[in-house]
Structure 1
Amino acid sequence: MSTPRPSAAHPAHPALPAVEDAIRAHTGNAFRITHAAPASGGCIHSAMTVSDAAGTRYFVKLGPAHCAPMFAAEADGLAAIAASDSFRTPAVVALGAAGEPDAADQAGGHAFLVLEYLALQPLQSATDGARFAEALVAMHRRTGETFGWPRDNFIGRSPQHNAPHANWAQFFAEHRLRPQLALARDKGFGGELHKQGERLLPRIPALFLDYRPRESLVHGDLWHGNAAMLADGTPVLFDPAIHHGDRESDLAMTELFGGFPSNFYATYRKAWPLHEDYEQRKLLYSLYHVLNHLNLFGRGYLGEALRLVTKLNEELTLGRG
């Protein structure tokens, strides 16, 4: 087995020999890594592109050994989206590990996920927005029998529990908000946030009195950094936190951090109008992601989390839920 030659842009990673072997096992050819370069892949894992002398490229995510369940869940989510016949997703080439982690703390080893390399472009034009919206509607129309998913997965590094449930409001309260609030308290962000959160949890069903969401296939982490286009206009999704849930939760996430063309929203609403109370439930869905960012990245998100939970409680007190 040859050791990959480090490129000028990136030193050789200790997991690259195992990555090379995994690609060769999948493709059945004599692939050899001759170049490895860092790639933008979010802030949770390190990422790189690897290529051989012929220019064949793959996208690789790397992390400590304990990241293996995250990569497995990501592969599962990509397969589910691909099976929906709505979006293009990067094909999963290999899941694997390198090195021998310590049995006590999983230190010392590496996990990796190898994906098909796609030349991605951001959503920019009105046409991009329309095509992406059409694909999202198609994915959301793929429904399950219950809310949740057959396996637990992750939202960033945070565990996301997906035990099946017939009632979406209860599912969201117990499997989305409650764990994030508990984690925030454990990280020292209790106080008023915890007080307001505990007040909100039993009141969440009031936001669904006149709205019965379908068990739509949702991406779960649909910000603009996880959405793209190919040069031929094909919409692409990746980095999913997949489950069956309220389609409004995906729409709310697209608005939370911006980045989608305005025509995306117009096209989506024309194809499948949103319920009149969406703007209020959007606060609820945004709260989940802001709490997760608070738990992952720290105090900078505390003010926004407290603002959202307080506003929801105020609106419910006024009888608007």
Structure 2
Amino acid sequence: MRIPNSIVLALGKRLCQQGSIPEPKLELEPVYGGDINLSFIAHTSNTPLFIKLNRNKPSDFFAAEHDGLKAIQQLQAVRCPSPLLCTQIENWHCLVMEYIPLKEHGLHGKLGQKLAFFHQKSTHSLKPYGFDKDNYIGGTVQQNECLPRWGDFWIERRIQPQLHRAINKGYKALLTLKTPTINAIKTALSDHQPAPCLLHGDLWSGNKAFDQNGEPVIFDPACYIGDREADIAMTELFGGFNADFYSAYSRIWALDKGYVNRKNIYNLYHLLNHVNLFGEGYLTSTMECMESIMACKPA
């Protein structure tokens, strides 16, 4: 889609006014691959920038991503693109950030190491589970109102909202599994009070890459404070993270033995979200996950 020249000119002026670029001129080069936003490399008179534009999402959609990137950046443990500007021009929402040339492969062990440091470093100053505002997991609102007990947070802010949404969309097969699955999660998490960590929140392989030196970069966060195991569990859900990643993470901060029983509980959230976003192609794997949770015995 072609962006109106008036929007490009206005965005250039705002970036120039805040000092991100010396001149207001922008030349946009489309970047393909995402399914939510329009993305561009913006060529300027000094350094390229990365720009996302959308006019279909809520006004706080990019603000949530901006806040997540800021939160990750402040810990200085793992690199993410530096957010520069979040603004609205007419009916277009715009997020501008540092442009980092990326490649698919790099130092996977370094990624595991840096993610462990990121989780470890964030435990020193964080409050109960949640975040200061709601944000988005893909295109779905992610509820983040804080709760003091992790099991309550996971059920009330993660699993129940997704289940309600899916059932209301017509996936009635989930009704019979709903109550026994929630009861099994309550039992599994009843005594589990993990160290509150800042999480990326949507750490699948498409949200990590490597710079031109092979150093890891993470992006497109859905941040909140929670159990670090939820980040690790999602890395296993769709693949794309190799053995070097897991061994390096474990050398810094090994996972508790109960993780093997909890990872399905954490990945159920993402499977339900995929049902809600993409349809019944994910329904069978979601129901299988729920059945595994119900059948699981404590470690």
- The verdict on a shared fold, with TM-score over 0.5 as the criterion, is yes
Residue 42 of structure 2: SS of its match in structure 1?
A: strand
TM-score by length of 1: 0.86
Q: Is residue 29 of structure 1 aligned with residue 22 of structure 2?
A: yes
For 1:55 and 1:244, the matched residues in 2 are separated by: 37
Q: Which of 280, 291, 296 matches 1:310?
A: 291
1:215–1:246: 8 Å Cα contact kept in structure 2? yes
* Residue from 166, 170, 174 that aligns with 2:156: 174
Post-superposition CA distance 1:288-317 (Å, at most 9, x none): 1011111111111111111111221122xx
Residue 43 of structure 1 deviates from its aligned partner by: 1.7
Find out whether 1:43 has 2:35 as its counterpart: yes
Instruction: Normalising by structure 2, report the TM-score.
Output: 0.92
Where does residue 186 of structure 1 map in the other structure?
Answer: 168
Corresponding residue number in structure 1 for 2:109: 130
Q: Does 1:268 align with 2:249?
A: yes
Q: What is the alpha-carbon root mean square deviation over aligned residues? A: 1.8
Partner of 1:90: 81
Q: Paired residue for 2:68?
A: 77
Structure 2 residue corresponding to 1:259, chosen from 211, 223, 240: 240
The answer to whether the 8 A contact 1:19-1:114 is kept is no
Q: Distance in 1 between matches of 2:221 and 2:99?
A: 17
Shift of 1:41: 5.5
- Give the whole-Å Cα distance in 2 for the aligned partners of 1:65 and 1:287: 27
Letter in 2 for 1:130: G
User: Do residues 154 (structure 1) and 147 (structure 2) align?
Assistant: no
Q: How does 1:156-235 map to 2 (within 5 A)?
A: 156-189=138-171, 191-208=172-189, 211-235=192-216
Take 1:293 and 1:249, find their aligned partners in 2: how far apart are those partners?
16
Partner of residue 277, structure 1: 258
| Aligned CA distance change for structure 1 residues 112 and 229 (closer, same or farther; 3 Å) | same
- In 2, the alpha carbon distance for the partners of 1:220 and 1:148 equals 11
Following superposition, the deviation at residue 271 of structure 1 comes to: 1.7
Distance 1:301 1:184 in 2: 11
Of stretches 280-289 and 18-27 in structure 1, the one that deviates more from structure 2 is: 18-27
1:139-150 alignment to 2 at 5 Å?
139-141=118-120, 142-143=122-123, 144-150=126-132
Asked if 1:111 corresponds to 2:55, the answer is no
State the Cα distance separating 1:65 from its structure 2 match: 5.7
In structure 1, the residue corresponding to 2:23 is in which secondary structure? coil
Answer whether contact 2:131 2:225 (CA < 8 A) is retained: yes
Contact conserved, 2:87 with 2:93, CA < 8 A, in 1?
yes
**Cα pair 2:102 2:212 within 8 Å, conserved:** yes
The 1-side partners of 2:279 and 2:173 are apart by 16
SS at match of 2:148: coil
Decide whether aligned partners of structure 1 residues 298 and 64 sit closer, same or farther in structure 2, where only a CA change above 3 A counts.
same
- The AA in structure 1 aligned to 2:135 is N
Partner of 1:106: none
Hey, what's the Cα distance between the residues in 1 that align with 2:14 and 2:205? 30
Supply the distance in 2 between the matched residues of 1:41 and 1:240 (Cα, whole angstroms): 17
2:52, 2:89 → 1: CA distance?
13
Overall identity of the aligned pairs, in %:
34
The reply on whether 1:248 has 2:229 as its aligned counterpart is yes
Q: Are the aligned partners of 1:26 and 1:93 in contact in 2 as well (CA < 8 Å)?
A: no
Q: Is the 8 A contact 2:61 2:135 kept in 1?
A: yes
Deviations 1:104-124 (A, max 9, x none): xxxxx11111111111122x3
Cα pair 1:50 1:59 within 8 Å, conserved: yes
Give yes or no for contact 2:134–2:141 (8 Å, CA) kept in 1: yes
In structure 2, relative to structure 1, the CA distance for the partners of 1:42 and 1:65 (3 Å cut) is closer
Shift of 1:55: 6.4
Q: Deviations over 1:35-89 (max 9, x none)?
A: 322214632212111213x463111111116433110010000000001111122
CA distance in 2, matches of 1:38, 1:55: 19
Report the counterpart of residue 4 of structure 1 in structure 2: none
CA distance in structure 1 between the partners assigned to 2:131 and 2:160 by the alignment: 18
| Structure 1 gap segments, 5+ residues each | 1-9, 100-108
Unaligned runs of 5+ in 2: none
CA displacement at 1:275 relative to structure 2? 1.4
Q: Which stretches of structure 1, 4 residues or more, deviate above 6 A after TM superposition?
A: none
Say which is worse superposed, 268-277 or 217-226, in terms of deviation: 268-277
Q: How many equivalent residue pairs?
A: 294
Who is 2:269 aligned against? 288
CA contact (8 A) 2:117 2:252 kept: no
